[in-house]
Structure 1
């Protein structure tokens, strides 16, 4: 590991740290250390980082703004690549939007709305990055990334950059091909938007944002929706009907605002959250015979 760290620093790929606590990089403020933490300062430096990962044969994981993630208390083995500063530009050509993976989804939706372009209204309250949103087909308010994505530039482990079309991304509910079949890092995305009325677009975004403020506990550290909706049922409703709102284990608590959110009520560990997730799964299965599946991605050492 020491030799790899030296190489990363020698190549000046960006911000490189050892044993960086991932609680500093997740929205739920939980997570042990990454052996090596790299924030590449450009696409080229991301490629150099991936080349070294391949050379040294170390495990790796890419993250964005750290929403939808629960990182083990024991941290993550190998390299964690954070896509942020250095991969946060966008370019608009008519109604075609090309944007780097590290760009904030909320900031992007806000900027685009001011230009009278429609398509990103649903994203006005999603606290993630563009790369993470494409990776998991993020969505809300009846829409998702698959509705607007034309193609995505992906860096694969073998060092190749490849444009994947919407069809090739194999989108489904909160899922893409990158999660299991073809692990890779989203570098850039191209979205096809439509012209619309600026005031109407901004009003729709405000409505979506206001709805989130009164129904979801983003005033406390949380990871977003914990469970997938077992359609036609809704996870939050099932949890509320089971009387589990407000139930806590350690510092982890089921939000009283929304049953499908677990908040870090102070000093919560990943183990607290995992125990609470299992408790909910058991209770819902006992009462409804419905198997709950997690939407939040659980990563790191067991």
Structure 2
């Protein structure tokens, strides 16, 4: 990394928001990953705009990270700048039946805020362990609903450092996909359009969904959530289970005994362990069912 870029960042921003050689295993739910050259926690959209412009000036690559819940960071870490959206950009404000949210807010916190304000539409997200920025990027969903159904607009910062507002009809949402997969934009703020409902009924729905999640998913181990996308006409976890792969282990990575759709970190797993296990699962499921599984988690960084 360009040392002049690092020095410039320390001149422009609070040193408490900057971390050199930051181990990414502390910043992902998988608890896996080598160091980021420079990790930055922005306080607002203007700081995101400024540091992206600086990174471009110094020709440093930029990686965006929310809660790190759908990410596998390679063992070599991440070169350049990692912008980590966290509670410093997690404001949640009600505007009528809309809720305006900073990209770093956790989905579960937004769902609880909506429930307390008797606003419905985000119940499905109450147990998804990610930030709302990452959820928009992936069009995250659960229990037959997804972010597409509630997102009204998204404010971003482009790779050139320009602020842009995307309307809902520009977001190109589909299954685990948004326009941000093919354009370099830092998601900074999201407007959600919800509707009024009884707060007690909303709470009951959320409690039922959380109970279903606790009973079926391996929440006691680090993971990146569902490992594979749902293949058309099938469920990835069911195919893996039917192939007899529950408990299959490579190093510290294992196919969960509780839910075959999850790879879990049972102890000091490396990215290489996880990637080898993913490849084994894909090979064996295809050999048994002739269905190609595609990873849902994003793999970033260097070997």
Q: Give TM class, smaller chain.
A: over 0.9
Q: Distance in 1 between matches of 2:291 and 2:84?
A: 36
For normalisation by structure 1, the TM-score amounts to 0.98
Query: Could you give the per-residue CA deviations for residues 71-117 of structure 1, whole angstroms, max 9, x where no partner exists?
Result: 00000111111011321101101101111000111111012111111
Q: Distance in 2 between matches of 1:167 and 1:275?
A: 39
**Displaced runs of 4 or more, over 3 A:** none
In the alignment, what sits opposite 1:10? 11
In the alignment, what sits opposite 1:213? 214
**Is 2:196 the counterpart of 1:230?**
no
Tell me how large the CA RMSD over aligned residues is: 0.9
**Residue 76 of structure 2 is aligned with which of 59, 74, 77?**
74
1:39 and 1:85 in contact (8 A); partners too: no
Gaps of 5+ in 2: none
Q: CA deviation at 1:183?
A: 1.7
Gaps of 5+ in 1: none
Counterpart secondary structure, 1:167: helix
Counterpart secondary structure, 1:92: strand
> Number of aligned pairs?
301
**Is 2:209 the counterpart of 1:191?**
no
Q: Distance in 2 between matches of 1:66 and 1:248?
A: 23
Q: Distance in 2 between matches of 1:222 and 1:107?
A: 20
In the alignment, what sits opposite 1:255? 256
For normalisation by structure 2, the TM-score amounts to 0.98
Q: CA deviation at 1:268?
A: 0.4
In the alignment, what sits opposite 2:53? 51
Q: CA deviation at 1:20?
A: 0.4
**Is 2:246 the counterpart of 1:245?**
yes
For residues 1-302 of structure 1, the aligned pairs below 5 Å read 1-12=2-13, 15-180=17-182, 182-302=183-303
1:30 and 1:73 in contact (8 A); partners too: yes
